[in-house]
Amino acid sequence: PTYSIYVAGLVFKWLKAQTENGVSGVAAMSQRSIAKSNLLYDYLDQSQLYENRVEKSCRSRMNIPFYLRDESRNDAFLAGAKARGLLQLKGHKSVGGMRASIYNAMPLAGVQALVAYLKDFETQQA
């Protein structure tokens, strides 16, 4: 499996090169992940339009599910998100709702764009 080993090596080099607030590697990626998820969860937790049904102690830093309290607005939400280039937010077909996947490749700017859209959509619905 030499190709797999080669690709893994490239990923490890990339990880080691990442820096955040004076730390590097996996610690830097962890800091980024915490900052991104906190940004999104903090907004969702204070919102009147959205809700997160996952207990705080069990929340993922990578996949953040949320629901519109009025699910009849889901299609409008997804259409507006698509118009802003925010894609793949529809939740799992058996669970419903929305899901933001913010893995390592998603920059903080992407999460900031999502939160900006969430705020705008909530304002429009008021």
Q: Which pair of structure tokens corresponds to residue 59?
A: 């929340």
Report pLDDT for 55: 96
Low-confidence ranges of the chain (pLDDT < 70): none
Report pLDDT for 24: 92
Report pLDDT for 126: 76
What is d(CA 57, CA 74) in angstroms, rounded to the nearest whole number? 27
Contact 40, 113 (CB under 8 A): no
Report pLDDT for 99: 97
Report pLDDT for 119: 98
What is d(CA 3, CA 126) in angstroms, rounded to the nearest whole number? 53
Report pLDDT for 89: 98
**DSSP at 8:** H
Report pLDDT for 105: 87
Report pLDDT for 112: 98
Question: Sign (positive/negative) of CA torsion 112, 115, 117, 119?
Answer: negative
